[in-house]
Amino acid sequence: MPIIDLSLAHYDEMDPVAAAVGKMMNAETSVRRKYFPPKKEPDVVFVDSWLSIFAHAGTHLDCPRHIYRWGKTTDEVPLERFMGPACLLDFSSKGADAPISAGDLEAHAGLVRENDIVLLRTDFTDKFWGSDAYLRNSPFLTGDGARWLVDKGVKAAGFDFLQEEEVKKIPENVPENYVVHRTLLGNGIIQIEHMTNLSAIPQERFEVIALPLKMPGIEGSPCRAVAVVD
């Protein structure tokens, strides 16, 4: 049962989107030796780290509360929504700033089933993550593309590109214009953002697991997204 990692590594200042709004990750590590005298046990230490991380940095989940006051938080969404049967739609031929529309998605309609986790592949994260190009020139999902996913009854959608065109305008962007977020999250569809390594998935249908941290009242969370293939 091969497992394919679809998650970016987290490190300080790793996220161009988070950095644009001044929010990143910090890690402080301490090495405590008082429990293990160095002279007696020089190779034994007690290491612990404090993490401060933006909930939407790197590969992460968005839940409905991210946009809507009435929306469910990460601890309120059933775990089944974060895992299950999935399909991969290949848009790797799309270039910079290219829209992915309902028409584009319809060309792959035969792969999509109700309650699927649908992953949209462009390879943009693999090529441009950490650069300004990822933030400013990413392909994006159109409003009618988001509506197409809703009409198909999928439970989650994953992206290896910046799927919301309005986000490119950070810090001048207007959240009210987040048509993809409003459409998907407003219909209970979980977003898995900033995925990577989708090109390594060798088949069109597989299983995906992308679980959030268990933190009550939080609208989003870093996750370790993986594909389980035959």
pLDDT tens figures, 46-102: 677 777 788 888 999 999 999 999 999 999 999 999 999 999 999 999 999 999 999
Model confidence, pTM: 0.89
Q: Determine the 3-state secondary structure of 161 from DSSP.
A: coil
- Average pLDDT along the chain: 89
Class of residue 35 by CB neighbours under 10 A (exposed 0-12, middle 13-18, buried 19+)? exposed
Same domain? For 26 and 127 the reply is no
- How much is the average pLDDT of 92-113? 97
Number of structural domains (the chain) is 2
Say if residue 171 is preceded by a cis peptide, omega within 30 of 0: yes
Residue 171, pLDDT above cutoff 80? no
Same domain? For 25 and 138 the reply is no
Query: Which of 169, 220, 224 is closest to 67 using CA atoms?
Result: 220
* pLDDT for position 42: 65
* pLDDT for position 169: 76
* pLDDT for position 177: 84
Class of residue 184 by CB neighbours under 10 A (exposed 0-12, middle 13-18, buried 19+)? buried
Q: How confident is the model at residue 225 (pLDDT cuts 50, 70, 90)?
A: very high
* pLDDT for position 131: 87
Q: Determine the 3-state secondary structure of 169 from DSSP.
A: helix
- Phi and psi at 50, nearest 5°, equal -105, 130
* pLDDT for position 19: 57
Q: How confident is the model at residue 1 (pLDDT cuts 50, 70, 90)?
A: confident
Domain extent at residue 107: 3-8+55-228
* pLDDT for position 55: 87
Residue 138, pLDDT above cutoff 70? yes
Same domain? For 223 and 118 the reply is yes
Same domain? For 71 and 46 the reply is no
What is the CB-side half-sphere exposure of residue 87 using CA atoms within 13 A? 17
Same domain? For 189 and 143 the reply is yes
Same domain? For 77 and 176 the reply is yes
Distances (CA, A) of 135 to 1, 171, 191: 35, 11, 18
Same domain? For 93 and 191 the reply is yes
Q: Which residue has the tokens 């293990």?
A: 36
Distance CA 50, CA 67 (A): 28
Same domain? For 112 and 149 the reply is yes
Distance CA 159, CA 142 (A): 13
Q: How confident is the model at residue 13 (pLDDT cuts 50, 70, 90)?
A: low
pLDDT, greater one: 222 or 10: 222
**CATH number of 123's domain:** 3.50.30.50
